[in-house]
Amino acid sequence: MSAIKFENVNFGYHNQNLIIEDLNLEIKRGKYTVLLGHNGSGKSTIAKLAIGLLECKKGSIFVDDILLNEENLNKIRSKVAIVFQNPDNQFIGATVRDDMAFGLENKCVDTNLMDGIIEEYASKVNMQKFLDAEPTNLSGGQKQRVAIAGVLAMQPDILILDEATSMLDPVGKKEIFEVIKDLKQKRSDMTILSITHNIDEALFADEIIILNNGKVVKVGNPSEILYDNELLTKNALEAPFIVQLEESLNKAGIKVKQTLDVKELVKQL
Amino acid sequence: MNIKINHLSYTYPSNQPFKEDALSDINASIKSNDFVAIIGQTGSGKSTLIQNLNGLLIPTTGQVEIEDYIIKKKVKLKNIKQLRKKIGIVFQFPEYQLFEENVEKDILFGPKNFGFNEKQLAGLAKKVLEEVGLDETFLKKSPFELSGGEKRRVAIAGILAFDPEVLIVDEPTAGLDPQTANKIMELFYNLYKKQHKTIILVTHQMEDVLKYANHVMALKNGKLEAYTTPFRLFNDEKLMSHLQIEMPLILKIAKETKKKYPDLDLSKVKDIDSFVMQLKDVI
């Protein structure tokens, strides 16, 4: 069962070269999938194609097995929610509360329940104190928190995160990641597609897809991919810190055995 | 060009009931040709602080002194254009500021605005594009055909083009892939090292603070909690837990390793390579 499926998809802006050519891709339903790739590899384009913000030139896209076309667009958008990299691009409301309400109104949520839902999700991301603040007065990281709370409150079947925590500090990133993991645990049918450069996040994924120049070069689970320094480097990515350190030590003639545990590594020195 | 911040406080104008100082009573000075990192959690006032440094925001109380310029409420700032030419800011997501029809025009917009003549403009766009690692085929491209990382580099090139003395960069690598991020950080470090620019880096990446910065300013709830060196900061566990930051992993590993090899010089550990080099010396 696939949540998102691309079949032989082509895409390019205007009359320019194709960014994506003959792409076949499957995001499995109920899984946590991480999409890795260098800047310009086509990750965000895939996200925009999947929600119908961009239209493919050739091929077909299915969301929850429904063909993405003009007729089905609204049906598909009611299933999918996306958080973009730059939260400024998705604020609508005059206050944080209004902004979060907008998505819920669109989903026809009972107005009596709305305030409760908004407060619940704002608290999850630690923004409950800012409900009456103007989004423009918030910091970059705070805006990202609000944007995430807004889409989580909508309880989408498919959640797409496009570098959604890039402006948070590491502690904040961890916090938001826990919220999302928690939500996923409660709703095992929810599909999450995360576009990220954070290799630590990829460690927790069910599946990792590596993209290079608009093509899928590898699909696998974290243990198949994250310790393959050659594969990662070739695709403009970086191995986890510990893998890099081991390689550097071995190169310098300080022989260590491969491990993923920092303590274990220190013991070997 | 030294920057002196005196009793700077800033409150955002707002009709909202909650009204807190975004910055309160900041005192600090930044010397010429320094590499200073500004750290702090989201909402701690980092971006607000840098906007007070070139007159984009005017302190609610207190002032900022930069050479002859005094940025202060109710005092008209003379020749603000010259100040902004000297202090270039690369904002968060600078790619959203691109607006011209092609990359070359976008890069030259700043220099033209600052009165560069034809001679100064000739070849300038190509030169700064090279500095950010893009070749001349990008000159005639529309900014909208570029990927996120390419746009970011073009936006940075647009700031480099007018050759500011002080470069303020606000989370310049957020959202970039690790290899592009490294290149961009090396670019800023070279501007500091070779062209003797002052770099002020707003960041959440403690690894970058350790590797590149000479000094670090730590903000919390709009207050300056510490202004010190990265080495001192990362050796002060109490301060780190107060600021809710974590020590860079490489330093943690080096500290553990030092238990076995007491001669290991922690002050020279900046990244993986320098750690391995130090370790080789003592093993």
Q: Where are the domains of chain B?
A: 3-247, 248-283
| Cβ separation B276–A129 shorter than 8 A | no
pLDDT (0 to 100) of residue B18: 56
pLDDT (0 to 100) of residue B19: 63
Cβ contacts below 8 Å, chain A against chain B, sum to: 137
Residue A171, classified by CB atoms within 10 Å of its CB into exposed (0-12), middle (13-18) or buried (19+), is middle
Is A104 within a domain?
yes
Of A197, A196, A198, A89, which is closest to residue A143 (Cα–Cα)?
A: A89
B2 pLDDT above the threshold of 70: yes
Collect all residues with Cβ–Cβ distance below 8 Å to B227 and sequence separation of at least 6: B28, B215, B216, B217, B218
Which residue segment(s) compose the domain that A55 sits in? 2-222
Contact A8, A59 (CB under 8 A): yes
Q: How many CB atoms lie within 10 A of CB B190?
A: 12
**Helices (DSSP H) in chain B: which residue ranges?**
46-51, 80-86, 103-113, 118-121, 124-131, 148-160, 178-193, 206-212, 230-234, 237-243, 249-260, 272-282
Collect all residues with Cβ–Cβ distance below 8 Å to B120 and sequence separation of at least 6: B111
The whole-angstrom separation of Cα A205 and Cα B194 is 42
pLDDT (0 to 100) of residue B25: 96
User: B25-74, pLDDT tens digit by residue?
Assistant: 999 999 999 999 999 988 899 999 999 998 899 999 999 999 888 999 98
Identify the CATH assignment for B3-247 out of 3.50.50.60, 3.40.50.1460, 3.40.50.300, 3.10.620.30: 3.40.50.300
| Cβ separation A140–B42 shorter than 8 A | yes
User: A113-147, pLDDT tens digit by residue?
Assistant: 999 999 999 999 999 999 999 888 888 888 999 99
Among A41, A139, A171, A261, the residue to mutate for chain B (most B Cβ within 10 A): A139
pLDDT (0 to 100) of residue B237: 93
B17 pLDDT above the threshold of 60: no
Q: What CATH number did the domain enclosing A109 receive?
A: 3.40.50.300
Sequence letter at residue A225: I
A89 pLDDT above the threshold of 80: no
- Alpha-carbon torsion angle B72, B76, B79, B85, nearest 10: 40
Is A18 within a domain?
yes
What is the tally of structural domains in chain A?
1
**B195 — pLDDT class (breaks 50, 70, 90):** very high
Residues of B whose CB is below 8 A from A41: 147
CA-based nearest residue in chain A for residue B261: A269
Residues of B whose CB is below 8 A from A13: 144-145
Residue B69, strand partner residues: B66
| Cβ separation B41–A265 shorter than 8 A | no
| Cβ separation B204–A170 shorter than 8 A | yes
Structure token pair of residue B81: 């254009």
Residue A16, sorted as left (phi over 0), alpha (psi -120 to 50) or beta, turns out to be beta
Structure token pair of residue A147: 């944007």
Residue B235, strand partner residues: none
Q: Which residue has the tokens 């605005």?
A: B113
| Cβ separation A241–B150 shorter than 8 A | no
Is A113 within a domain?
yes
Is A251 within a domain?
no
The SS3 call for residue A164 is coil
The mean predicted confidence, pLDDT, of chain B is 91
Residue A197, strand partner residues: none
**For the residues B242-262, what does the mean pLDDT come to?**
93
| Cβ separation A13–B144 shorter than 8 A | yes
Q: Where is average pLDDT lowest: B22-26, B85-89, B95-99, B138-142?
A: B95-99
**B133 — pLDDT class (breaks 50, 70, 90):** confident
Q: Which residue has the tokens 């409760």?
A: A116
Of A153, A136, A184, A187, which is closest to residue A83 (Cα–Cα)?
A: A153
Residues of B whose CB is below 8 A from A14: 145
Share of chain B above pLDDT 70, in %: 98
Write out the E strands in A43-85: 58-63, 66-67, 80-83
pLDDT (0 to 100) of residue B15: 64
The SS3 call for residue B77 is coil
B94 pLDDT above the threshold of 70: yes
C-alpha distances (whole Å) from A159 to each of A98, A104, A154, B102 are 21, 15, 10, 35
Q: Where is average pLDDT lowest: A83-97, A156-170, B102-116?
A: A83-97
Q: Which residue has the tokens 């076949």?
A: A24
- Alpha-carbon torsion angle B131, B136, B140, B141, nearest 10: -70
Is A35 within a domain?
yes
The whole-angstrom separation of Cα A73 and Cα A62 is 11
Is A260 within a domain?
no
Give the distance from residue B188's alpha carbon to the nearest chain A alpha carbon, in angstroms. Answer: 19
**Full strand arrangement of the beta sheet holding B3-10:** B23-30, B3-10, B61-66, B69-72
CA-based nearest residue in chain B for residue A165: B175
Among the partner-chain residues A40, A171, A238, the one whose CB lies closest to the CB of B150 is: A40
Among the partner-chain residues B42, B178, B260, the one whose CB lies closest to the CB of A238 is: B178
pLDDT (0 to 100) of residue A58: 93
The yes/no answer to whether this complex scores an ipTM above 0.85 is no
Q: Which residue has the tokens 């339903």?
A: A29
B113 pLDDT above the threshold of 70: yes
Contact B142, B154 (CB under 8 A): no
pTM summary value: 0.79
| Cβ separation A252–B276 shorter than 8 A | yes
User: A190-212, pLDDT tens digit by residue?
Assistant: 999 999 887 777 878 999 999 99
| Cβ separation A132–B92 shorter than 8 A | no
B116 pLDDT above the threshold of 70: yes
Give the distance from residue B1's alpha carbon to the nearest chain A alpha carbon, in angstroms. Answer: 28
User: A4-20, pLDDT tens digit by residue?
Assistant: 999 999 998 876 778 89
